[in-house]
Amino acid sequence: MSSEEDFEDFQFWLMDMDDAIDRLFSLLPAEVENHLDYSATSLNYIESWILNKYPDTADIIKESEKEVLDGLSRYVGETFRMAFKGKWTIPLDDPDYAYYGMPMVAIPHYNNSICPVTLVTASADRRVGNYISTVFNNIKKSKK
């Protein structure tokens, strides 16, 4: 696939954002969904659900969980994007780059972009319950 085709796929992925997050919400129990307001606190509800559902990273990256992982990544990314006035991007110019072809959120005041899918998978690996919100709060502190 060419970079142009990859970019077109990314544009479609962006257009599907709201529907994909709605699909995620439909899979979550009400006690989680009711707390999802795109706040730092909501990230802890997402992470708690991840830890209860997935014993480790291998379980969350299974092909059967692809849609769930995508939805979780979108929700996490949108939470960061809205809070920090970020922008979705996708690196397609260097196939050797670790995040090549992975949607990322560029945050204006922050030196790095964040990769929501790796935040979600790392939370399943680290198993602390507030990994994602800690990253969020560290970025928030760096803004001051």
Indicate if the pLDDT at residue 131 is higher than 60.
yes
Q: What is the pLDDT of residue 2?
A: 73
Indicate if the pLDDT at residue 47 is higher than 80.
yes
Give the chain's mean pLDDT.
95
In this prediction, what percent of the chain has a pLDDT beyond 90? 93
pTM: 0.96
**Core vs surface per residue 21-37: b (16+ CB within 10 A) or e:** beebeeebeeebeebbe
pLDDT-derived band of residue 37, with 50, 70 and 90 as boundaries?
A: very high
- How far apart are alpha carbons 4 and 9 in whole angstroms? 9
Q: What is the pLDDT of residue 143?
A: 77
pLDDT-derived band of residue 137, with 50, 70 and 90 as boundaries?
A: very high
Summarised one tens digit per residue, pLDDT across range 72-101 is: 999 999 999 999 999 999 999 999 999 999
Three-class DSSP category at 70: helix
Extents of the domains making up the chain: 3-133
* Mean pLDDT on 115-141: 97
- How far apart are alpha carbons 64 and 46 in whole angstroms? 19
